[in-house]
Structure 1
């Protein structure tokens, strides 16, 4: 029986295969137990269990199922292919793309999928997938053709996701796919610039620069770095946004005041005093001098109104940009409960702003 590390180093499994898929193959094909995989990986068994269950659930997706089958049969006992358990030929099983091939083909397809109205179409009996785009006149134009193995690799990495079922599956680019496209483009630009010191391809993949506001209050910021906007892109069970735009605006308003409060001589403001057990009463915003006193006062008033717990989660997520898992661990909350508390805190924060200054924050100066 091979270990997880052996699978990661197996020449038949390309390095691009995600960790959760490797662990799924180790459990389903190599027969390793969840606890054994967790011990070798140095993580909790529940983490591996969730990854295995997620991979199994994703097999309803055509490309995911074909990709996992392709990976699994390479680790199956000898002779399994002779039993007629799969329609894949030996040549198809050997056609898993390596990292160089995927890096060469994926940017071309992701560019096409990033165009408005574009999708990738494929059926079970098709050896190749096609990228089509609908024009404003309702015409359908084929813009690219890609091998099925490449499409499977892109689906396994969450770069594309199925948007329509039926005999012909249609896939569209995901936010993860757009991040990967940015990295590919940054790497290409770095090669053209002969890898100058200013080239930062791996940093650029985490940037999603957007503009907010109008006129004098126009601000350019990185949307990807904020856990608030990460949650705002999620949907609830009914398909509605998990965080409504007014809640997102309240969180961004707190972060804006927090950033303004750091300007000036007192850049070392100790906001940890507002965290649970930090002695909230020791800070007197009225006696603050230097920097942006009004912004510090607005932040302190908002956190005081929210109180312990709710104030902690908005300060950590909106201002300190801590991820939800980190906040849950620090606060001692159960997994996946932090986002519910965060939404309640944002609701209270919005009510505070509505009662304090109305829908708009005061202009600077």
Structure 2
């Protein structure tokens, strides 16, 4: 029989936690014996012992160690010999007890792992910080931040083996693993299947269900599909050089495009809407909206609307498709009916105007909001 701490721990551990980690926590935090776990799992005791020892060796990794401490926190409160002072100290640690559920982890993994697939991208984690950042090398000695990740999400990615660190330190740098790339492909496929299935199942329904179906159909559109790519079209174009050796896209222009994409991604996180950004660009241009401060989906939607209105049709189209939809330049050129190799010039003009817009609306720098 499992002890009380083990039963409580088993009930609290989410479904996404790997089996090795579940066995490790049941043994170290729940107090279950190796032979007992082996009987429950229908395996030999030596097999379970190897699984437990494998997880123990991974505790040198700060993110894995943080994930295990976070998952084992409920059991710690059940130990009779733990003093009140120790309990309070543990509760004040930045790790906290927020464990993401499977749906949250899947959504965040799609966002973060896509960024880590880009060339030169790593996830940087500093000790005692409750946030991590994805940073991409720009190739000229500089770097740019492309995503901000909550600690509990970064820890879950490491525990799943989707990211790994070769040399943990005061600032640890993680890269995406082969397992992470495979998981991203599966997550994107499942997400697209779910959107398509929801759209088809809701077809013909009225009221709010029809609105949800319209949004699902929009998300399932091939133009919005997120493929597993080595890097974004903007990052690939940024590596090109003019004849004199200068970068085709300056770093401030790349930052402006990334800012637009970040607002686009953040705008999708709020309540479902039926906003179609393509129809927005072709419906006529009205007076610009002043960008509102804030970091929520509504504020991001307002900033995105203002930026697209500033660009207008044509320039707004190429920025939306290349920066936000991650569509290749050749595909955009065919869609817009432009001459071959003209898209990169139009995109650079769009980014220049976008950069000026952010300089005026936000101030010098106009960096990423994360």
TM-score, normalised with respect to structure 1: 0.50
Calculate the TM-score normalised by the size of structure 2: 0.49
Q: Higher relative contact order at CA 8 Å, sep ≥6: structure 1 or structure 2? A: 2
Q: Of Structure 1 and Structure 2, which has the larger fraction of its residues in helix?
A: 2
